[in-house]
């Protein structure tokens, strides 16, 4: 397929807000692509060059793209900069300059453009920036103005068209069957191999048979299994099983550890490759004697001197790209492994949890930094409550109660794991992870903070719906930090993924990117908010740098929490 044809589809997607329409457009596009180019097409419509966990990016800042546009269309940098300031979008600038330039363009296929972008991304070393500019400028001269619009947006991460990997999976189902009936099987494969391009290629080549036997592969992250919530220990035993395993619930960063042939990879909750951030854990993982394995766990900052766990906000300081050696010294970690998903090339996902636990204990011998999490088997609600109290005194979040014979449910939330926290017995059973959608100007003292209140929402399908306007419950330091973070994500217009009633429109919009953990006294029915539910007396617990927007609390989850208040 010619890239100019893809650009027409990108234009349709940009003008569409309905998720169903977006899915239909993508399905039509995928039908027209060949098996050799569908993976590349998937990456490009997502504004990337490879699966997120590979971290392959063009690494070109806005000023560099302005240089590229100036060179491509024979303009001086000041005139391009001026046009950008008036238009506010580098894609629109590229399209306008392309129209003025009146270049005829040459035939460029999707594969041609994709390969050029890959070459630019992989170009490193002396004078690589100059070579990147030359290659990108040459590419823009070869394509039509509409194609230039989208190519110019990719380097600066501004292609965002209002959908994610999950919409891609829906579109693949529509491509096969004309509806979403194939989505569960496609998603099950994606949960185990989170490469949307590869999944699309397999589906295109062989239909559902192509993804039927997907198994875990060391080095490729698996979507994490998630916990459900229940209001009491008695309800947990009723739902999970008469006998259960109880483990500590750690307030740290979810850590998926991959070991194979002497290689170590560490992935975060949102499947980012964070290996380079944790050299101490990498060294400790090399002590595990196994050909290959994939482990699920949680890493916590640990105060060795006082023998205590540190708060999440100190743990998250270890998630950084600079000053790593100093961070290793200042914020020591302990990694607690609570599951094993694959060993020596054999998938353990369908193995009952009690069997996986035995294999985990056989595989991992505790060392200074990596340990198998504690576990108690019980059939007593009182024992569960006592353990929660014990874990809380240790500075942990509570407990996770696990079904003894359950498989590992990659990417799924269910009653195979139930979290039981300190808020469970009264009021809202859990904290709520919300997306910051915008901010309001402050009055009085808060004018100095830059923010007086902020609007948050939760996920409902492809939309984020408002659930609370928060103006209290933050310390002075948190208000200042909120201002700093939201300024970096500030945009001039409302994201088309946001559903915001007019009377709640903020003074400043924030693009999807900042997740916050909120504790509320109660969830109430709301005629004001788009979610039709609201948080009463909300307060900020912490910024969730380990979560992306797609991992916020869903409307369905919030509705379940609302119902649990009445139990």
Q: How many whole angstroms separate alpha carbon 296 and alpha carbon 319?
A: 18
Residue 211 near residue 185 (C-beta atoms within 8 A): yes
- Phi/psi of residue 79, each to 5°? -70, -35
Cα separation, 522 vs 323, in Å, equals 41
Dihedral class, residue 219 (left if φ above 0, else alpha if ψ from -120 to 50, else beta): left
Residue 454, burial from CB neighbour count under 10 angstroms (0-12, 13-18, 19+): buried
Residue 119's φ and ψ, nearest 5 degrees, are: -60, -40
CA 513 to CA 511: how far, in whole Å?
6
- 358 strand-pairing partners: none
The dihedral of CA 552, 557, 562, 567: what is its sign? negative
Determine whether 249 is an active site residue: yes
| Alpha carbons 339 and 407: distance in angstroms, whole number | 11
Query: Which of 201, 249, 463, 465 is an active site residue?
Result: 249
Q: What are phi and psi of 446, to 5 degrees?
A: -75, -10
73 exposure class (CB count in 10 Å sphere: 0-12, 13-18, 19+): buried
Q: Concatenated DSSP letters for 393-449?
A: HTT--EEEEEETTPPP-TT-EEEEEEEEETTTTSS-SS-EEEEEEEEE---GGGGGT
Q: Measure the CA–CA gap between 51 and 529, rounded to whole angstroms.
A: 35
Contact present, 161 and 45 (Cβ < 8 Å)? yes
DSSP helix, strand, coil percent of the chain (3-state; round to 5): 40, 20, 35
Residues 6+ apart with CB under 8 A from 380: none
Residues acting as catalytic residues: 249
């Amino acid at each position: 397929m010619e890239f100019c044809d893809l650009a027409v589809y990108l234009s349709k997607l940009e003008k569409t807000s309905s998720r169903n329409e977006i899915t239909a457009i993508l399905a039509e596009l995928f039908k027209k692509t060949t098996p050799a180019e569908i993976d590349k097409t998937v990456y490009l419509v997502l504004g990337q060059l490879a699966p997120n966990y590979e971290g392959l990016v063009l690494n070109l800042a806005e000023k560099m793209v302005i240089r590229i546009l100036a060179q491509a269309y024979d303009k001086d940098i000041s005139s391009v900069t001026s046009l950008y300031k008036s238009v506010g979008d580098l894609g629109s600038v590229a399209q306008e300059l392309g129209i003025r330039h009146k270049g005829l363009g040459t035939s460029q296929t999707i594969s041609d453009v994709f390969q050029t972008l890959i070459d630019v991304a992989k170009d490193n070393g002396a004078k690589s920036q100059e070579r990147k500019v030359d290659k990108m400028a040459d590419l823009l001269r070869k394509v039509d103005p509409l194609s230039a619009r989208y190519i110019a947006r990719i380097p600066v991460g501004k292609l965002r068209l209002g959908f994610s990997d999950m919409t891609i999976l829906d579109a693949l189902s529509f491509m096969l069957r004309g509806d979403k009936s194939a989505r569960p099987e496609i998603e099950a494969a994606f949960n185990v191999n989170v490469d949307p391009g590869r999944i699309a290629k397999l589906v295109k080549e062989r239909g559902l048979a192509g993804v039927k036997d997907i198994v875990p592969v060391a080095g490729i992250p698996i979507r994490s299994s998630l916990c459900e919530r229940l209001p009491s220990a008695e309800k947990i035993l009723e739902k999970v099983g008469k006998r259960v395993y109880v483990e500590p619930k750690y307030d740290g960063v979810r850590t998926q550890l991959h070991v194979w042939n002497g290689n170590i990879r560490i992935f975060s909750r949102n499947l980012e490759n964070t290996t380079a951030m944790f050299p101490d854990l990498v060294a400790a993982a090399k002590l595990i004697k196994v050909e290959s394995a994939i482990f699920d766990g949680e890493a916590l900052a640990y105060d060795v001197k006082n023998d205590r766990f540190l708060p999440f906000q100190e743990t998250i300081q270890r998630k950084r790209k600079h000053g790593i050696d100093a961070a290793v010294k200042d914020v020591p970690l302990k990694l607690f492994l609570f599951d094993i998903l694959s060993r020596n090339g054999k998938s353990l996902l369908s193995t009952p949890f009690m069997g996986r636990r035995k294999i985990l204990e056989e595989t991992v011998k505790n060392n200074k930094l990596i340990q198998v999490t504690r576990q108690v088997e019980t059939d007593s609600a009182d024992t569960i409550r006592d353990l929660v109290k014990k874990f809380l005194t240790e500075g942990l979040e509570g407990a996770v109660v696990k079904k003894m014979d359950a498989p590992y449910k990659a990417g799924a939330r269910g009653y195979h794991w139930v979290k039981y926290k300190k808020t469970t017995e009264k009021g809202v059973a859990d904290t709520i992870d919300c997306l910051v959608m915008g901010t309001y100007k402050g009055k009085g003292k808060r004018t100095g903070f830059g923010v007086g209140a902020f609007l948050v929402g939760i996920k409902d399908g492809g939309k984020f719906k408002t659930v609370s306007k928060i103006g209290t419950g933050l310390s002075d330091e948190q208000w200042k930090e909120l201002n700093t973070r939201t300024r970096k994500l500030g945009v001039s217009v409302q994201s088309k993924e946001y559903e915001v009633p007019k009377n709640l429109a903020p003074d400043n919009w924030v693009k999807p990117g900042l997740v916050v953990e909120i504790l509320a006294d109660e969830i109430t029915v709301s005629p004001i908010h788009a979610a039709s539910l609201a948080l009463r007396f909300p307060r900020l617990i912490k910024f969730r740098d380990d979560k992306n927007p797609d991992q916020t609390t869903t409307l369905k989850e919030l509705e379940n929490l609302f119902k649990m208040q009445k139990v």
